Amino acid sequence: MPRKVTAHQFNSVNGVVESPNEWQFDAFGPEEGQLMGEAIGGITDVVIGRKLWQEWSEFWPAAAEGDFFAGFINPVRKHVVTSTLSGDLGWNSTVVHGDPVAYVSELKEGEGEGGISVVGGIDTIRSLFLAGVIDELTLTTHPVVGVGRRLFDESVPVTRLELVRSQSTPAGNAVLTYALKQD
């Protein structure tokens, strides 16, 4: 049975996903933390782009003991989508060789327990979702207009989605989970 592949992005009302720390403000409360905990529960593998991996690999291993996210991200297996890094990366990380769509498809269909989460970058999430490798994409839409790159920009053709789940939070976020619409 294939493993489930998910992705979760914070986005602004106008679709910006880049650097949410610059526009998220006070729209991340206890409910959002609980939702994140539920989202990462059962995840055993993370697919991550090089830039985000480099940022996180410098920060999270030194995070305070007992930090919730550090307790998740440090031990989880990380698959790094990169064309510039090679060799032993450390931090429980493996370089994705070849086409990321083929690699994650193999990971999804291969042996293993637990879910797979694609955490970045923007191009990686976009290509894996549009290729049908990501089963569910959750967008937490914050009540703000942001500035930066969008997950789905004008390069993406019209693509039909199916709403799988939805809820709102007291902080004013809409949490929407989508799958590609199967015709």
The residue-averaged pLDDT of 133-146 equals 96
**For a pLDDT cut of 90, what percent of the chain falls above it?**
82
Cis peptide before 49 (omega within 30 of 0): no
pLDDT digits (tens, 9 = 90+) for 156-173: 999 999 999 999 999 999
pLDDT of residue 25: 84
pLDDT above 90 (res 66): no
Q: Tell me if 8 sits within 8 A of 39, measured CB to CB.
A: yes
pLDDT digits (tens, 9 = 90+) for 6-59: 999 999 999 999 999 898 888 888 888 888 888 899 999 999 999 999 999 999
CB atoms within 10 A of CB 117: 22
Q: What domains can you pick out in the chain, each with its CATH number?
A: 5-180 (3.40.430.10)
Angle at 82 between CA 63 and CA 93, to 5 degrees: 45
pTM, full prediction: 0.94
